[in-house]
Amino acid sequence: MAHEEVKGCVILKDLHYSVQDNTWVKADGDIVTIGMTDIAQSLAGPILHAKTKGVGTSRKKGRPIATVESGKWVGPVKSPVAGEIVEVNEGLASDAQLINRSPYKDGWVVKMKADNLAVDLSELTTGDAAVAAYKEKIEQDGIECSHIDDTDTYD
């Protein structure tokens, strides 16, 4: 999978990102998978709890779809699209560090049926533009990504 690494932070080029909220979206028809970025997991540190909202919950864009707690931080995962949660990652309840080890794969957070996918996707950033946006953010905020053991590799 095409990716780029900036200060240890992995950015996959085929995903759509909300750079500000550090979330990613992968669309499959009108169902989207949503997760936290490598930068988000790194800033949070080893995650202790990731509590998702239930299936059937409708969310506006920017509203929380999960609450994530680490040793030093707590915050929302904000929905990058508007829609209804159709599936949650059950694995996170017993092993929240899936998000740390595999932010773009096994550590996905929820799947949603998007209300207005084309519009929402057009407001997100992807490809080289996403890499450029993250480069700027990483530089500006002095971010350097760190990873726990058994983290996914991208070759």
Partner 1 sequence: MMALDLSQNKHADVSYDEKERLFDEVKADDRWQHVLYGCYECGICVAACPSARFYDFSPRVIAQAVAREDVDLIYTLMSDSIWDCSQCFSCDRCPRQNSPGQIITIMREVAVKNGLQTAKEALEGYGRIIYKIMSTGSQVSPDMLQPDAFPDWGTHVYEIAENLEEWRKALPPETLHTTETGWKVDQKTIIELYLIWHMTGVMDLIEGVDEGLFMILVDVMEERLEEAGYDDITFD
Q: Which CB, 76 or 150, lies closer to partner 1?
A: 76
Q: Retrieve residue 70's tokens.
A: 């680490």
Residues forming contacts to partner 1 in the complex (CB under 8 A) are: 45-46, 48-49, 53, 63-64, 67, 69-76, 78
Give the shortest CB-48-to-partner 1 separation in angstroms: 6
CA separation for the pair 140, 132 (Å, rounded): 12
Q: Which CB, 29 or 142, lies closer to partner 1?
A: 142
CA 155 to chain centre: 20
Q: Which CB, 29 or 71, lies closer to partner 1?
A: 71
DSSP letter at 87? Answer: E
CA separation for the pair 10, 13 (Å, rounded): 10
Q: Which CB, 46 or 127, lies closer to partner 1?
A: 46
Length of the chain: 155
Q: Which CB, 12 or 109, lies closer to partner 1?
A: 109
Give the shortest CB-98-to-partner 1 separation in angstroms: 17
CA separation for the pair 59, 9 (Å, rounded): 29
Residue 52's Cβ-side half-sphere holds a number of Cα atoms within 13 Å equal to 29
Give the shortest CB-46-to-partner 1 separation in angstroms: 6
Give the shortest CB-87-to-partner 1 separation in angstroms: 19
CA separation for the pair 154, 142 (Å, rounded): 23
> Which residue's structure tokens are 């990058």?
80
